Amino acid sequence: MLWDTPTPPDQFTIVNDGLSKPMRMRCIVTEQCTGISVFCNGRKIYGIYAHKGNRSSAADIYKRLCRYRKDSLMWIYFPLAPNERIHEVWIRRRYGPRKLITDIALMIRTTLDRSCIFGPCLDPQTDDSVETCLSKGQVSHLIHEDPDDGDPILCFGQTLPNDVQLDAPEILQHPPSFHNKWDLFHSCASLENVEQVCLFFDERGSDLNNLDKCCLGLLLTYSSGHKETLGQCRVGLSSTATIEHPTGLHFAEVTFIDGKTGVIVRVASDNVGINLSNKRQWLSTKMTGIKTWWINSEKTIPCIEEEDI
């Protein structure tokens, strides 16, 4: 077995379907990690990248994976605060015929009690899915196989002893529902105390001005300095626009020539006035409550829901 580091962890257990045998393993050191990016579709994970500092090669990895996959992958970015560490790592697997893994999702929880699921929201009440804790406590490494480009990651490294039994977190036991479409990726963020909004635009329609481009995701920066994401934030790849001191968000669905749908986002602020076209139906919200987005990789359809805090 080949490693990407000369000093791999001493003790770990390979977690797989019992059939896959990884030839290469990758070890992500979580210390000084400023964020995690996972490249996936509605069923499997194809790449994991740890951001450190301002320099990032995540865009190059994403483009390479998409070229080998010959389709678009979702890019799920989860930023970490300077004083935030990864506290738990779980995977959830669903098996198909011959006990082969058909769906897999990765979940991390931090010391600030923030969580993110990278992959599909499987319903444990109706799906034959299994949750496994890989690490808990002071998580120093995230271990997974290094597959050939275009192949999914099916094997992970478990540093937790096999005899330790833990209940799956609430977010895995009772995932949020949206018309029972479990292949959708779920992201949510509070709109309270947001100091800055960064919009990430779709590469399609690059000849249009930013006001008419489809928005893939939002990176929210709070007065505390912490960050949250909605949708896809392709750091270093997508064109962006940044708005300071937002006062409201406006959303309108748009359909492309290829039939895929997305959303246009306008951000109101103290310094910037906006003009909403009467040709579109706009959903508007002030910077209060919680905003939820549901997307998938085949049809980018953010489903906007609002909840009271």
Is residue 169 a part of any domain in this protein? no
Evaluate if residue 308 carries a pLDDT over 60.
Answer: no
| pLDDT of res. 72 | 76
Q: Give how many domains the chain has, as a whole number.
A: 2
Per-residue pLDDT tens for 226-271? Answer: 999 999 999 999 999 999 999 999 988 887 777 777 888 999 998 7
| pLDDT of res. 162 | 65
Is residue 193 a part of any domain in this protein? yes
Global pTM reads 0.88
The answer to whether residues 72 and 207 belong to one domain is no
Better-scored residue on pLDDT, 113 or 53:
113
Evaluate if residue 178 carries a pLDDT over 60.
Answer: no
pLDDT, mean over the chain? 83
Per-residue pLDDT tens for 153-173? Answer: 989 998 877 667 677 777 766
The answer to whether residues 147 and 206 belong to one domain is no
Is residue 170 a part of any domain in this protein? no
Residues in contact with 190: Cβ distance below 8 Å, sequence separation at least 6, in sequence order: 228, 289, 290, 291, 309
Indicate the pLDDT class of residue 309, thresholds 50, 70 and 90: very low
The answer to whether residues 280 and 238 belong to one domain is yes
The answer to whether residues 129 and 197 belong to one domain is no
CATH number at residue 75: 2.100.10.30
The answer to whether residues 288 and 200 belong to one domain is yes
Is residue 168 a part of any domain in this protein? no
| pLDDT of res. 92 | 86
H, E, C per residue of the chain: CEECCCCCCCCCEEECCCCCCCCEEEEEECCCCCEEEEEECCCCEEEEEEECCCCCCHHHHHHHHHHHHCCCCEEEEEECCCCCCEEEEEEEEEECHHHCEEEEEEEEEECCCCEEEECCCCCCCCCCEEEEEEEECCCCEEEEECCCCCCCCCCEEECCCCCCCCCCCHHHHCCCCCCCCCCCEEEEEECCCEEEEEEEECCCCCCCCHHHCCEEEEEEEECCCCEEEEECCCCCCCCEEEEECEEEEEEEEEECCCCCEEEEEEEEECCCCCCCCCCCCCEEEECCCEEEEEECCCCCCCCCEEECC
Is residue 180 a part of any domain in this protein? no
Is residue 171 a part of any domain in this protein? no
Evaluate if residue 177 carries a pLDDT over 60.
Answer: no
Is residue 205 a part of any domain in this protein? yes
Host domain of residue 263 = 185-303
Q: What percent of the chain has pLDDT over 90?
A: 36
Is residue 174 a part of any domain in this protein? no
